[in-house]
Amino acid sequence: MAENGEARAIGIDQGTTYSCAAVWQYGHVEIILNDWGNRTTPSYVSFTRTERLFGDAAKDQLALNPANTVFESHDKNGGFQEAIKKALYLGGVFVFSDAIPSLEWLDIGGYIKSMKQTYKEIDNVLEGWVQERIHTRKQNNDQSVSDFMDVMLKSMEENEMVHGYTRETVIKATILHVRDDNMGDLVAPQQSQPREALEDCRIGKYHIPKGTRLVANLWKLHRDPNVWSNPDEFRPERFLNEKSQVHFKGQCFEFIPFSSGRRMCPGMTFGIQVIQLTLARLLQGFDLS
Instruction: Determine the Cα–Cα distance for residues 111 and 95; give it in Å rounded to an integer.
Output: 7
State the burial class of residue 118 (Cβ atoms within 10 Å of its Cβ: 0-12, 13-18, 19+): buried
How does strand 213-214 pair with strand 195-196? antiparallel
What is the DSSP code (8-state) at residue 35? B
DSSP string, 169-232: HHHHHGGG---GGGGGGSPPPPSS--EE-SS-EEETTEEE-TT-EE---HHHHTT-TTTSSSTT
What is the DSSP code (8-state) at residue 57? P
Q: Which residues pair with 201 in a beta bridge?
A: 208
Instruction: Determine the Cα–Cα distance for residues 86 and 95; give it in Å rounded to an integer.
Output: 15
Instruction: Determine the Cα–Cα distance for residues 58 and 146; give it in Å rounded to an integer.
Output: 9
How does strand 11-13 pair with strand 6-8? unpaired
Cα distances (angstroms) measured from residue 283 to each of 104, 233, 276: 15, 21, 11
Helix (H/G/I), strand (E/B), else coil: 6: strand
Cα distances (angstroms) measured from residue 161 to each of 27, 149, 251: 38, 16, 55
Please indicate if the annotation marks 265 as binding a ligand. Answer: yes
Nearest CA-CA partner of 280 in 94, 105, 108, 99: 99
Binding residues for heme: 265
Binding residues: 265
